[in-house]
Amino acid sequence: MANRHPSPDLAVLDIGGGSTEATRKGGGSSTPIGAVWLLEACGPDVAACRARASAVFGNGYADWQGRTKLAAVGGTATALAMLELSLPKFDNAAIEGLEVGLERVSA
């Protein structure tokens, strides 16, 4: 997707249970941190999860600063979209193409 998209500023993110895959034009990377991994490492402590994720992603993605478009795919992105839209059950038509501002995902 990132290599076929016309925008040079697009990055594609897939947060899995044990790792996160990120791609953009010219390459990508896999980071050994995922949603389940974070929960097992930090428990329900939100501050600890944020600190651990910031440490891992801040070091590995420093050159990605300033990206204007991020396309998130997969189960974690779907769950977050359902939370954003307050959906009681999966609704592909509502989720597909949902745009969420940076202020909502970085709080």
pLDDT digits (tens, 9 = 90+) for 75-101: 889 998 999 999 999 999 999 989 888
Give the Cα separation of 6 and 87 in Å (integer): 31
pLDDT digits (tens, 9 = 90+) for 9-56: 788 889 999 999 988 877 788 888 888 999 999 999 999 998 988 888
DSSP output for 30-78: EES--HHHHHHHHTT-HHHHHHHHHHHHHHHSGGGTT--EEEEESHHHH
The structure tokens 């509502």 sit at 94
The structure tokens 């989720």 sit at 95
The residue type found at 20 is T
pTM: 0.73
Tell me how crowded residue 83 is: count the other CB atoms within 10 A of its CB. Answer: 9
The residue type found at 9 is D
Give the Cα separation of 63 and 9 in Å (integer): 12
Cβ 10 vs Cβ 69: under 8 Å? yes
